[in-house]
Amino acid sequence: MPARGIDDIVLDWVAAVLLAATVLLSFVQVIARYALLTSTPWTEELARLFFVWAVFLGAAIGVKRNLHTRVDFLFVRLPPKAASLLLAGMDVLLAGMAVIMVLYGAQLVLSTRADLSTSLGYPRNWFYLPVPFSGILMLWYLLPDIARRLTIGRVAPPGSQG
């Protein structure tokens, strides 16, 4: 397994902390609602925000590690050069989706910048910011892999790095 860079470690930790915070906030909300018979709307809002960020960061991590779902029955039966071209084609499609995420996600972020959240009063576009951010990360990880696969024809087995 290749050495992991500081960006990989930081991204993993941020996603893990966000997921842990989501679980903790959800637990606090359940305890407050059923044991203390009170409502804490800020916990729900913050947990939802953390979850959205964790999901989109997780998608970028999946792209980085080449872990997104694919059907391998054709891939393993192709000659190495054809398999490499197939993987590059799949990466190009994923990069196209990432471009759409960046362009339309940025439009959504800009169009909702004046909206404020109900409980905490922060800008509601923080919910939409992970869409273009994750798209940029995906492109950052995909473009070198696409270039490498097209120029060298190197095949990475499914579930491995690039």
Q: Is 28 exposed, middle or buried (0-12, 13-18, 19+ CB in 10 A)?
A: middle
Q: Is residue 86 part of a domain?
A: yes
Total domains in the chain come to: 1
Instruction: Report which of residues 69 and 134 the model is more confident about.
Output: 134
Per the DSSP assignment, residues forming a β-bridge with 116 are 123
Q: Is residue 53 part of a domain?
A: yes
pLDDT at 153 over 70: no
- Using CA atoms, how far apart are residues 52 and 49, in angstroms rounded to an integer? 5
Mean pLDDT over all residues of the chain?
84
Percent of the chain past pLDDT 70, that is, above it, reads 89
Give residue 55's domain range.
Answer: 6-152
Chain segment 35-60, per-residue pLDDT in tens:
888 888 888 889 999 999 999 999 99
